[in-house]
Amino acid sequence: MLKGVFPVEKFNTIPTPFYYYDVDLLQETLDFAKTEADKYSFHLHYAVKANANPRILSIISGYGMGADCVSGGEIQAALDAGFPAQKIVFAGVGKADWEINLGLDHDIFCFNIESAAELAIINELATAKGKIASIALRINPEVDAHTHIKITTGMKENKFGINLSMVGQVLEELKTLKNVRLIGIHSHIGSQITDMSAFRNLAIRFNEIQDELEEMGVVVEHINFGGGLGVDYYHPNHIPTPAFDNYFAVFHKLLRIRPGQQVHFEPGRSITAQCGSLISKVLYIKEGEVKKFAILDAGFTELLRPAMYDAYHRMENISNDDPVEIYDVVGPICESSDVFGKDVELNKAHRGDLIALRSAGAYGEVMASQYNCRSLPKAYFSDTL
């Protein structure tokens, strides 16, 4: 069984469960993303919600990327980590007044607007400060992302974004608002998208949308395609970096950009997923009538994705190479959804063995909770261990 490379000796001295980040892999991923985007002068804003660990954020900001934030707390975290305010975009369907004011005070690059109601409030708050807020309209392009229903966002009748049929109306309203300036159009159709045809459809749809906008006399300075590029959860050792080359090439090939127009992206998962693992210890092996359970000291309080999205994470026994056996791998939380995987192949597990849950660098540590009065997991880094 091919396994990732982990400093198991050092792990044995650290209380479990904890997150472990491979800094070399993060940097390799960032290099790849940046190189491929730079080929076409595309702009990147890292989606902070995927992983807001301060060390991770500061490594990413070191690559000159911007940040995509969905709360005031994330804006503050991005600023603290060195992301320039002029490269921060702020999205989210429910921006509170204080969050909008924080963005206005720092003159962030752009507010991505999700409703006409929000637009009016941003105009009002900007007026009170004597400022002009730069905004982009988040449009639902009605492109199917072919991904999990709980992470699909670009279809009609979704709480996110503005439906295509209502864009004209919002543009009319914009004309009456003096303290907002339309600089872009935005979309984010979903997450963990591995089928490039969804991105092809998105690029083509945006050509049509741009044509329609132009008929209404609107040409924007930038187009933002959000995030969504998927990673290979099944083969983190063979395919550690996502297909940034194919991804950006699709947009370069299909998109008809207007003169001087910029193209932006907001990758989250694709940047951080593969560099992180949740390291946990086997507490008990419970022999059932037909099943065998490996009970870990980590549960959905540390890694929520399997319980929340039925997500798959590859698991490896990194303590021994005994012949493989089949387990249901579960956590200690008092909920029957606290299961990491059923019929999982692991090298025979014993009490005290370390189990690595792979590809946990995105939507892992950030979603941890203290349910059952547990402590939040700590994070360790390959270069400072």
Where on the chain is the footprint of ligand PLP (CB under 6 A)?
A: 47, 49-50, 68, 70, 91, 188, 191, 226-229, 266-270
Burial of 257 (0-12, 13-18, 19+ CB in 10 A): middle
Cβ 74 to ligand PLP shortest distance, Å: 11
CB of 41 to ligand PLP, least distance (A): 20
- Smallest distance from the beta carbon of 88 to ligand PLP, in angstroms? 13
- Minimum distance from CB of 188 to ligand PLP (Å)? 4
Q: Which is nearer to ligand PLP, 28 or 325 (CB)?
A: 28
User: Residue 50 or residue 355: which is nearer to ligand PLP going by CB?
Assistant: 50
Q: How far is the CB of 226 from ligand PLP (least distance, A)?
A: 4
Nearest distance, CB of residue 73 and ligand PLP, angstroms: 15
Strand ranges inside 209-338, DSSP E: 222-224, 262-265, 276-287, 292-296, 315-317, 324-330
DSSP classification of residue 376: P
**How many distinct helices (H) and strands (E) make up the chain?**
11, 17
CB nearer to ligand PLP: pick between 47 and 318: 47
One-letter identity of residue 200: R
DSSP annotation of 266:
-
Residue 6 or 244: the one with the smaller Cβ distance to ligand PLP is 244
- Residue 48 has φ and ψ, to the nearest 5°, of -60, -30
Q: Which is nearer to ligand PLP, 319 or 359 (CB)?
A: 359
- H/E stretch holding 278 reads strand 276-287
What distance in Å separates the CA atoms of residue 199 and residue 202, rounded to the nearest whole number? 5
55 — phi, psi (to 5°)?
A: -65, -45
Q: Residue with structure tokens 């990491």?
A: 340
Closer by beta carbon to ligand PLP, 6 or else 251: 251
Taking the least distance from each CB to ligand PLP, the nearer of 269 and 305 is 269
3-class DSSP state of 108: coil
Number of residues assigned to the chain: 385
In the numeric block, which tokens belong to residue 62? 């070191």
Buried b (16+ CB within 10 A) or exposed e, 263-281: bbbbbbbbbbbbbbbbbbb
Smallest separation (angstroms) from ligand PLP to the CB of 228: 4
Q: Confirm if 10 and 381 have CB atoms less than 8 A apart.
A: no
Question: Roughly what angle, to the nearest 10 degrees, separates helices 97-105 and 116-128?
Answer: 50
- Closest to ligand PLP by CB, 227 vs 341, is 227
Q: How far is the CB of 380 from ligand PLP (least distance, A)?
A: 23
CA distance 227 to 248: 12
Q: Tell me whether residue 231 or residue 318 sits nearer to ligand PLP (CB atom).
A: 231
Amino acid at 334: C
Closest approach, Cβ 70 to ligand PLP, in A, equals 6
d(C-alpha 167, C-alpha 171), whole Å: 6
Distance CA 173, CA 179 (A): 12
